Copies of this chain bind each other. A is one copy, B any other.
Amino acid sequence: MKAIVHVGLKPGVLDVQGKAVANALTGLGFGGVQEARVGKVIELELAHLTDREEARAQVTDMCEKLLANTVIESYRVEIAE
């Protein structure tokens, strides 16, 4: 079973990487870039799991313990197949 985890900074948290991307794009001549925000996507291949809800629960647990810094980041779990 495949799971996709989207991790991004919570709204209101300063995204310095995003700001750097926006500035670099403006510097390259791309006008009109008002904002850029950078997040992570983690694709997991899980063996021995066939139940979608069980997989979702386990991946949520992984996010809380390792994949996301829940103080400043939010995450979304997607079970692909």
Contacts and interface: CB of A to CB of B under 8 A. Distances in A.
30 contacts: A6-B41, A8-B41, A21-B42, A24-B66, A25-B44, A25-B62, A28-B62, A28-B65, A30-B58, A30-B61, A30-B62, A32-B46, A32-B49, A33-B45, A33-B46, A33-B47, A34-B45, A34-B46, A35-B44, A35-B45, A36-B42, A36-B43, A36-B44, A38-B40, A38-B43, A39-B40, A39-B41, A39-B42, A39-B43, A40-B40
A31 interface: yes
User: Copies of this chain, how many?
Assistant: 2
A33 B37 contact: no
Contacts of A48: 31-32
